[in-house]
Structure 1
Amino acid sequence: MKSIRSWFSGTDTPENSHWSALKTNESVDELIGNREKPQIIYKHSYRCAVSIFSKRSLETGLDDLAGIADLHLVDVVSLRPVSAYITEKTGIRHESPQVILLHNGAPFWSASHGNVKLKNLQDALDELL
């Protein structure tokens, strides 16, 4: 069992789960160009409790989500330029935490703050598929 400290530390990296870390603008362009399956971008701050708990909510269903869509995470604090590039490319105003669902290279659905919940994302995917 994880300690409370580990919940708020930056040690829970995307590499430890189904998340693919977005670290460059080129990686954003690549995922936007992917037409094979939906793309999910999660804008995350390791400094924000709401963001941490929202990420944990999504991670309760990662096995199911990973079979349907590609999952990407951007650390909005350390990779602010990449987060800003996502805003530029999608036209969706930056917020954190935020989840963006892309289909055929275009935004299909997004949620932020308290609306970043597994159920909401699953409902959006059900509507899409």
Structure 2
Amino acid sequence: MKQEVIKNKEEFINIVEANHEFFLLKHSLTCPISAAAHQQYDRFAEETSVPCFILYVQESRELSGHIAEFTGIRHESPQVIQFQEGEAVWHDSHSAITKERLLGV
């Protein structure tokens, strides 16, 4: 499934309201660990039917902060958060982000 980039709070709210379940990757454009996590997330997105979204931290700092506040999960990047029914139900970060781990969630 193709990943959609989200950039602002309004887009995030619409995604939460429109999707029973989805994954979100907070990605740093300058971090090599984040680049590796992004590759794993891309591989996962190709194999899942669950919608996958991505947020570029450097371009959407306000949204990244809003999501941390909304979920109660401290911001990290890279970081993947799984949402179900509008709630964060799982998250992980850094080198723990692998296609296999995401498929097992």
TM range (shorter): over 0.9
When the two structures are aligned, how many residues end up with a matched partner? 105
Q: Which has the larger Rg?
A: 1
- Give the TM-score, by structure 2 length: 0.92
In structure 1, the residue matched to 2:95 is: 114
User: In the alignment, is residue 71 of structure 1 matched against residue 55 of structure 2?
Assistant: no
Q: Is the 8 A contact 1:44 1:96 kept in 2?
A: yes
More RCO (CA 8 Å, sep 6+) = 2
* Bigger shift: residues 56-65 or 109-118: 56-65
Decide which structure has greater strand share. Answer: 2
Letter in 2 for 1:88: E
Query: Where in structure 1 do 4 or more consecutive aligned residues deviate above 6 Å?
Result: none
Alignment partner for residue 100 of structure 1, among 52, 76, 81?
Answer: 81
RMSD value over aligned CA atoms?
A: 1.4
Q: Name the CA distance, whole Å, in 2 between partners of 1:61 and 1:121.
A: 7
Q: Which runs of 5+ in 1 are unaligned?
A: 1-16, 125-129
